[in-house]
Amino acid sequence: MPDSFQHWRSAPDSQHRDILAAIRQLDAADDAQLRWLLGFLGGLVCGNARHMPGGPDRIGPGGFEAWFAALDRTLHQPSDPLLRQVALQHRAMSDGAGTLQSRLRDRAITPAEFDRFADAVVHYHGSLRALERALIHEACMADPLTGVWNRSSLTDRLGAERDRMQRHGGPCSLSMMDLDHFKDVNDRHGHAAGDHVLRTVVDVAKRHLRRYDSIFRYGGEEFLFCMPNISAPEARIAMDRIRADIAALRLALPEGEAISITASFGVAEMDTHHSIEASIERADRALLAAKNGGRNQVVV
């Protein structure tokens, strides 16, 4: 798990698109830096400062600052350490380029000065790639339809919560949610309608959860909620609010028809003495009891 971007705990699908856009911006910056570097080194080799390209600060139509500000806005997280590292390494590279350019006029570039510049170039390139790897990881860990975490991310993230419980104590509740008769929606109205239902239900759930709660798409129409520092009775109340809001929905379809949907929930507290899988299984058994008991209800 990268050290960066863990703040996106339940990013909506628009933020998932922002991550992909930021990756494209990083690729473009890397290409621009390579083109500038080749021109700059060509000027050094030929000893011609007048025909060297502008410094790396002038990469792109608006320069590095404009590019970085655009990336900042895309990611919504200006304080992220990987973003700060990109800016710091770019400043070091820019300063090194300026030193070499000024020394070129006197034909007095030393090996140590060139080595410092080369190191700055390598570190800047590395900071771009580190940021890109973190973003790719996040993109792979999110469900592209709903924007919540996918099942691949579940073990790491629940494992981190279990470690927190062991260090500091306090409960953590899990809830498994399954949409009732969801197959009928797909069969009668098509998969586009089913996707609309899933996104809407997730939006309803997010309105009742705290920013540090997590939602995972467990599979199909099943979702798992992780709620730190909440006991099972408290989690039941929260899930019942979500259940009631879902049941009250009238979802408009493109052809003008409106449909209703209900959901069943199973709640269990995470147990630090047993595996994560065992705790999920307990929530799943509670969900099965809710469905066997008539659906559209919460069972602890």
Structural domain count of the chain: 2
Between 46 and 165, residue with greater pLDDT? 165
Which residues are known to be catalytic?
Answer: 221
Straight-line distance from the first to the last Cα atom of the chain, in angstroms, rounded to the nearest whole number: 32
290 shares its domain with 155: yes
163 shares its domain with 28: no
* Residue 7 placed within a domain: no
CA distance 138 to 120: 27
**63-87 residue pLDDT tens:** 677 778 777 777 765 557 888 888 8
The answer to whether 124 and 68 are in contact (CB under 8 A) is no
Domain with 68, as residue range(s), is 13-141
**199-244 residue pLDDT tens:** 999 999 999 998 889 999 999 999 999 999 999 999 999 999 999 9
Nearest 5°: the CA angle 269, 198, 286 is: 25
**122-136 residue pLDDT tens:** 999 899 888 888 888
Kindly report the pTM of this predicted structure.
0.67
Tell which of 94, 125, 141 closes a domain: 141
Q: Report the CATH number that the domain containing residue 200 is assigned in CATH.
A: 3.30.70.270
